[in-house]
Amino acid sequence: MICESVLVECKREYTPAIIKTVVAFSNTGGGTVYIGVDDAGTVVGVEDADSVMLQLSNAVRDSIHPDVTLFVEYHLHVVEGKTVITAEVQKGTSCPYYLSAKGIRPCGVFVRQGASTVPATETAILRMIKETDGERYEQVRSLNQELTFMEAEKEFKKRNIPFGVNQQKTLALINADGMYTNLALLLSDQCVHTIKCAVYEGGAKAKFKDRREFTGSLLTQLADSFEFIDRYNRNRSKIDGLYRIDRRDYPVESVREALLNALVHRDYSFSDSTLIRIFDDRIEFVSLGGLVRGITISDMLLGISVARNRDLANVFYRLTLIEAYGTGIPKILRDYSQYPVEPRIEATDNAFKITLPNRNEIEERPSLGANERIVLDMFKDKDAIVRKDVEATLNISQAMAVRVIKRLVDTGVIRTVGGGRNTRYVLVKEAP
């Protein structure tokens, strides 16, 4: 008697549901489908076995993607004088296999669970993709295969660069199996990642002046967010003798390079947005994913770069959005070489931030000492401070803390709120 198990499935007759079981065996550990055997293991046989075998093989070929036919063998057996068809399925090498009509979704991907065929969870699907395609996000097959590229096509057309199927294969948007990769998802109109821009009043994250979230193809997000930032990159005038000198708050080239860096080097396996924060005195570009393993901030300052998303960087290079790897950070530093405050670069295990100081704000502000600057840094994490915070942070006496605070109040950088024991200090505008 034949008994159903994780490796055996019995079917009294051919039904379309058998294809789900073939998918499940292909994705799990292989197995055998018996047609002509009922659930109890009793042999009932198949009439017109050749026709049924042809129907089964055609359905496997036409209904499952990627192509699994190399991993399925069909046989006819005579058991107890009756004809039984077997489909022996090996685990495939391009998991996850799925029903072509359903796509790479739980309703299209199946696995074996005991003697049952069940839909795979999204977590299981992602694990199979990663095991097959590797760890690089941009090379992995996109879960969404219904992608369009209207915005990307416009960008390529502007630069007279073809963007047909052959070019998409060369650029790694389409893999060897003819499927869209996550790189294609990033450039598609269906891109799931976004850029969030916020403009704050003053130097703290206390009051919004404006905010936007940009969606769609990364190429569209790049253009839209740059235009948004440029709207707040004011042009200020300074009279030098007989001449009027106009200067933007932030070097346009530095803004461009910081924005490109945030998009090209972020880790897209994280789902949260790239963040751009505009204050009176600075712009912060925050992207998910720390430095690529083996690279330090000192390496970056020297122009050493290892692209986390090499294929995305290559697309940007083809579109002349970037010139060469590793040139962005040195360009930004050169733009600020004549100013007392440099751009700040910070990295954690899971985030990377570039802060561009407002050049015009720098020159307009009074000169502050080291202690005053340390106190001002405290407002990056707090909306208000008290005298004891200053004493603890600087490790100084109460009298010295009072003098440091008075200096900041007198220069108009912070102001006093409340009185007596409830006295606290809030930021008016943050010095560099």
The answer as to whether 169 is a domain residue is no
Do 13 and 62 belong to one domain?
A: yes
Tell me how far apart the terminal alpha carbons of the chain are, to the nearest angstrom.
Answer: 81
- Comparison of pLDDT for 19 and 132, the residue scoring more: 19
Beta bridge partners of 87: 33, 74
Confidence of residue 121 (pLDDT cuts 50, 70, 90): very high
User: What was the pLDDT predicted at 365?
Assistant: 57
Average pLDDT over residues 132-147: 85
User: What was the pLDDT predicted at 201?
Assistant: 87
> Distance (Å, rounded) from C-alpha 29 to C-alpha 188?
35
Angle formed at CA 312 by CA 195 and CA 132, multiple of 5 degrees: 105
Q: Is the pTM of this model over 0.85?
A: no
Beta bridge partners of 33: 9, 87
Confidence of residue 247 (pLDDT cuts 50, 70, 90): confident
In the chain, the number of structural domains is 3
Q: What is the pLDDT of residues 314-369, one digit of tens each?
A: 999 999 998 766 678 888 988 888 876 788 888 888 899 999 999 887 665 556 77
Domain of 415, CATH number, reads 1.10.10.10
Do 199 and 108 belong to one domain?
A: no
Q: What is the pLDDT of residues 31-53, one digit of tens each?
A: 999 999 998 889 999 999 999 99
Domain ranges, residue 304: 195-363
Answer for the pair 110, 21: CB distance below 8 angstroms, yes or no.
Answer: yes
Domain of 212, CATH number, reads 3.30.565.60
Q: Is the pLDDT of residue 404 over 50?
A: yes
Confidence of residue 292 (pLDDT cuts 50, 70, 90): confident
User: What was the pLDDT predicted at 432?
Assistant: 40
> Distance (Å, rounded) from C-alpha 53 to C-alpha 15?
12
Tokens of 122: 């999204």
User: What was the pLDDT predicted at 430?
Assistant: 44
Answer for the pair 87, 56: CB distance below 8 angstroms, yes or no.
Answer: yes
Whose tokens are 């998802």? That residue is 185
Do 255 and 316 belong to one domain?
A: yes
User: What was the pLDDT predicted at 419?
Assistant: 84
Do 358 and 373 belong to one domain?
A: no
